[in-house]
A and B are shown apart, each in its own frame.
Chain A
Amino acid sequence: MDLTTMQDSILPLLSALPNTLMLTFVSVFIGFCLAIPFALGRLSKNKLIAQACYAYVYFFRSTPLLVQIFLIYYGSGQFVKALEAVGLWHFFREPWFCAILALSLNTAAYVCEIIRGGILSIPKGQWEAGQVLGLSRFDLFVQVIFPQAFRQALPAYGNEVIIMVKASSLASTITILEVTGVAEKLIAETFQPLEIFIVAGSIYLSLNFVLSQLFHLLEKRLNRYLPHGATRTN
């Protein structure tokens, strides 16, 4: 093993970390915002809305993320005229836009299911207590149901964010120089994949260590006063 190569690769790989973070957290944020309406849609009494949301979830959970990235990045190239006509080609020709779009839509599907599970775990009595107090459906959801559903969903959600950190490496396949992209570039220059992937892997490992600790703390803090933590029934 060549320690000098490893040492030399640390700085260039770390300098790609902001790109990895950017890809991950922008997608996690957009995905979360999309997931809430999708989760509500899945739970809607309107069959059409519920099925449309399920179709979305089904598609994005059942096809590989890599395929989704390629479909969006290369696929959009087939529709340049149409996309130009609606003023969107400007976005779709950017690898960053395509990567974030694919990651966001993909994580939204998973988070939708995580949130839906959280909402379903809230006892009926909580809805009824809110209704009886005269809370509007909006207030009931925002003030009573969602905060509890989110606490229930937190362990699964933390998992999903960590998966997203790793999934962001697929953006390297469409020319984005995040950690894995830079690693591949360095390998092409040095022909020493083992050393460089060990360093790159360690960066992901450290990042996810910090994230899992943060989620652990958040869980402990938010669930402080919930009886029996995540397994609460009522």
Chain B
Amino acid sequence: MLNAIIALISGILFGTGMIVSNMVDPTKVINFLDITGHWDPSLAVVIIGALAVFTPCYHLFIKQRRHAINGKEFNWTKNTKVDGKLLLGATIFGIGWGLVGICPGPSISSIGNGSISTYLFIASMLCGMAIANLNINIFNKKCSS
């Protein structure tokens, strides 16, 4: 029950953050990425705002705990290796992000906008994830050898 309530509250806070900061507007994201154009640093300030809350809370209240309040282990990755898979994945994600100015968080937060473009993006993104899941073993092998 605690898990369910926390998940719902965190989801609402996350969506609200995306909407309040207007990251749900792809034009605003593109303007951040358009450094040589009419540059809009807002997205950087969003990340700074998020880090200003998350970083101290993590290092003061979470890091030294052996498990979360619900008794479960923390599920962050133990992997610390910068490998080809990470670099290739981040590059491919960057190309897609630069193409339309939408990443996963804003796409879900803007589901209520009634725009076909948003729904096309979300459906394609889920397909992209499924394709990656089906082929992940190939990349795991290639990048660890």
Q: Do A and B come from one complex?
A: no
Give A contacts to B, CB under 8 Å.
Answer: none
B: residues with CB less than 8 A from A are none
